[in-house]
Structure 1
Amino acid sequence: MSSDGKYTVDQFEGDYAVLLFRSDESIVVNVKKGELPPTVKEGDILHVAFNSQSGVTSAVILEDETKSARKTAEDFLKKLRNK
């Protein structure tokens, strides 16, 4: 059974999205793309709630957290390039 919480969209494989649990990225959940918001992209951070059969009951893109995480990653890449 999948845990409710924050997930990062790692990638898409066919009709499925691969989600990584934010607090422990070794926890991977595959969900049908149709269960997620239609505008979801790789790298988005979502709050996902599951039912007892591990089906998605709600999935909301956390816009501010996604923007912050992308900026942090971009800043890190800039630092690496400038070394």
Structure 2
Amino acid sequence: MNYNKYTLDRFDGEYAIFLKRSNETEQLLIHHAEIPSELKEGDIVSIQDDGFDYKIELLREETANQKQRVNNLLQQLRNKE
């Protein structure tokens, strides 16, 4: 089995579009029915692909850390004004 980390970029129609970390240029489209309902845009996940199904796991700690980094950067930008 092969697994990689992705960021849930957006939902487009019936599909969720994931960007492979860390270069985020490779996309993976998965039908909305195959992803856990708890996922939202910006979440970091681990996706296992056995060739037939996807196993998607939310990486809560990595997602929280990434959101904190983004918030810190935004705060720094605001403080420069």
TM-score, with structure 1 as normaliser: 0.87
1:63 to 57, 60, 69: 60
Q: Is residue 2:69 matched to residue 1:72?
A: yes
Unaligned runs of 5+ in 1: none
Pairing 1:14-53 to 2, within 5 Å after superposition: 14-52=13-51
TM-score, normalised via structure 2 length: 0.89
CA distance in 1, matches of 2:50, 2:22: 20
Offset at residue 52 of structure 1 (A)? 2.2
Report the counterpart of residue 82 of structure 1 in structure 2.
79
CA–CA separation in structure 1 for the residues paired with 2:69 and 2:34:
28
Q: Give the total of aligned pairs.
A: 79
CA distance in 1: counterparts of 2:32 and 2:9, whole angstroms: 12
Runs of 4+ in 1 over 4 A off after TM superposition: none
Provide the C-alpha distance between the structure 2 equivalents of 1:46 and 1:9, rounded to a whole number of angstroms.
8
CA drift at 1:37: 1.1
